[in-house]
Amino acid sequence: MTSNYSSCILPELTALAAEQREARRRALKAEEEAQEAARLALEDRERAGAEHGAQEMVELVFPATLARVVSPQMWRGYPSVTRAFMATVPPSAVAYLGGSTYLHHIELNDGDWAMTLHQPCTTCGAHTEHPLWDDIELAACLGSDDHPVLCPSCERRSAA
């Protein structure tokens, strides 16, 4: 089969095609970098918003207790999580209180919120989760020597 192009034009076409491929590769790389920068900026905004919202909630709902102990610097924000075939998990924030105890705050999609206190079981060390809605529930879930914090399995064993 013969070519319609002369032998002096083929190297120029080959070089032009290589330049176009390289330009397209650079454009795709720039687009990917822009998308990654936008994703990182969104994650940073979500983290900051989660931290701010958690501290606001503590100061509003727990002014006499948690607000005196938890400072804004204690919160660590986490961005939303989206995976295929799974609902989006909204941004959340965690404040570590020491001794494997931490608060977890999440703002739900409907504008509601949830605050939970996570503590280790005094018997086995597994984490227990206590929803907090006010100071009364906070006082009820804080363990003492008379009322230790037990996970559900240790609670069943001690009741038997």
- pLDDT one digit per residue (tens) for the chain, 160 residues: 555 655 666 777 788 888 999 999 999 999 999 999 999 999 999 999 999 999 999 999 999 889 999 999 999 999 988 877 776 889 999 999 988 889 999 988 787 889 999 888 877 877 888 899 888 888 877 755 556 677 777 777 776 6
Q: Which two tokens stand for residue 42?
A: 């969104």
Res 29: pLDDT:
95
Question: Side chain identity at 23, as an amino acid letter?
Answer: A
Q: 3-class SS at 93?
A: strand
Q: pLDDT at position 114, please?
A: 92
Determine if residue 100 is left, alpha or beta; phi over 0 gives left, psi from -120 to 50 gives alpha, anything else beta.
Answer: left
The confidence score (pLDDT) of residue 141 equals 77
How far apart, in whole angstroms, are the C-alpha atoms of residue 64 and residue 60?
Answer: 10
- The confidence score (pLDDT) of residue 51 equals 96
pLDDT for res 160: 60
Asked whether the beta carbons of 129 and 116 are under 8 A apart, the reply is: yes
Q: Can you tell me the distance from the alpha carbon of 77 to that of 43, in angstroms, rounded to the nearest whole number?
A: 9
Query: Residue 83: what pLDDT?
Result: 74
Cα separation, 159 vs 119, whole angstroms = 20
Picking from 107, 106, 141, 146, the residue whose alpha carbon sits closest to that of residue 127 is 141
Structure-token pair, residue 108: 């739900």
pLDDT of residue 5: 57
What's the pLDDT score for residue 49?
93
